[in-house]
Structure 1
């Protein structure tokens, strides 16, 4: 899926992987070829091979053996330094239009998506317009996970008591597999979701459909949904308690005021929101 990218970030990451592999092959391929060449040329049955038992040093060989890797390392370091800053997941993308803000909560074993600007939420379904920037804020309600949509790019940790960020964009419409890339217990294999890029009209239609749901996502409902379960389906919530995402983060710094998840947190943990 990484090589079938459908987003600007995914394409940039794919190209970076290809360039790095290509540069490293400048060392790997000659080394493999020379292994067979030397084995054939200096075999016991080749009486024409020159026998030099006292040979100990060659400046030309040393220059090749050390020079080529050093050049490749320097080139790779420059490329990685540049791409690391360009592909910083916290850095907004150069895309037109207002971004779609989505608050992502990893639970056992499901994904909860809150659209704070729209006042709606879903479980195991992420829908957004194509060519619109997605600005994710990501946390976990328990075990560490990683939020990952391979065809769009990026893989960012979801950690309890912390908020991480990620910016993505889909270049075309389609349904992409979303998953956790970090093992988190017996329900890990079912912890996936559908990420659907639609047209603007279809997205508006989907939002209106979610808003007719009879369900409301407040903190009490969230605690029930977040309990460990496997193979959960899609849920829609027409209303969301304001500040729910922050409350999920703050539970790990409130000395157990908000239930058993907070009581299990290690003492001294603090909220670390990177702005």
Structure 2
């Protein structure tokens, strides 16, 4: 999950913003550190050239330095973040090779459900995508608010019950990556990791064929899957109802209750009252 080793254009842009922001902030940090040692050295007791000024109260030149440099830094840092945020709009299309792949993501307690409506398959805690293809994610939550994040692909985005967020990504190299939940959601939160397999476009149709299992994903089996649990295996399904994601997002299928009260007067960080 090395964010400094991006595997797609969005991740590479995120890396650039991160490095630029650190460099800009160092414009304050480094001079401040140097000034601390310089002042301590100059005003040491053994320096006869250092003048003791008990009545000194104000210096316009010092005020100019201590206010102008931070102000310019904040302006520059804000400009980099503002421009970068607009250029990396999660809903903006990302160009790629081949046909786009549409993936519907549902965050559950405590697992991830990935639905491929065009391929009529679904997986749990495993995301498989073809290299170079535009990836069009539609995301929602079946319970409390969560956050979908593949660090090497970039653009963490929240999933919320009763609404759909959109994210466009692209993976530029074949290999295995790691995804995670970036928002605390209860006891099973540490296990909300998912594998990301980037394969060749020619291998993707074969993967779809092997993924179509005898297990069927429909409204009934989904409600069983949505029960609060940590999924250690990586089950696959044949999608029976291509409108399942819409039913989840519009709450035609009732949302899960979320984390329960574990002791009297105490509730998990995100409780049932946080379900939207």
Q: Report the TM-score when normalising by structure 1.
A: 0.89
1:89-108 equivalence runs, <5 A: 89-108=90-109
- Name the residue aligned to 2:250: 250
Cα shift readout 1:191-223 (whole Å, capped 9, x = no counterpart): 111111111112121111113x11111010000
Offset, 1:88: 1.0
1:109-120 equivalence runs, <5 A: 109-120=110-121
> What is the RMSD of the two structures over their aligned residues, measured on CA atoms?
2.2
Offset, 1:186: 1.3
- Name the residue aligned to 2:233: 233
> CA–CA distance in 2 between the matches of 1:32 and 1:267?
44
> CA–CA distance in 2 between the matches of 1:176 and 1:88?
23
1:8-27 equivalence runs, <5 A: 8-27=9-28
From 249, 258, 261, the counterpart of 2:256:
261
1:136-155 equivalence runs, <5 A: 136-155=137-156
SS of 1:90's equivalent?
coil
* Deviation larger for 71-80 or 150-159: 71-80
Q: 1:41 to 1:28 in 2, by over 3 A?
A: same
> CA–CA distance in 2 between the matches of 1:5 and 1:22?
19
Contact 1:121/1:240 (<8 A) preserved = no
> CA–CA distance in 2 between the matches of 1:267 and 1:180?
17
Q: 1:260 to 1:124 in 2, by over 3 A?
A: closer
Contact 2:145/2:275 (<8 A) preserved = no
> CA–CA distance in 2 between the matches of 1:5 and 1:105?
24
> CA–CA distance in 2 between the matches of 1:260 and 1:236?
22
Contact 1:179/1:192 (<8 A) preserved = yes
Q: 1:201 to 1:260 in 2, by over 3 A?
A: closer
Contact 1:106/1:158 (<8 A) preserved = yes
1:22-41 equivalence runs, <5 A: 22-41=23-42
> CA–CA distance in 2 between the matches of 1:231 and 1:268?
22
Contact 1:110/1:232 (<8 A) preserved = no
SS of 1:162's equivalent?
coil
Q: 1:242 to 1:138 in 2, by over 3 A?
A: same
Count residues in correspondence. 263
> CA–CA distance in 1 between the matches of 2:193 and 2:274?
31
- Alignment pair present for 1:156 and 2:157: yes
Structure 2, gaps ≥5 residues long? 259-270
Cα shift readout 1:216-256 (whole Å, capped 9, x = no counterpart): 110100000111111431111123312100111222xx5xx
Offset, 1:52: 2.7
- Name the residue aligned to 2:189: 188
Q: Report the TM-score when normalising by structure 2.
A: 0.89
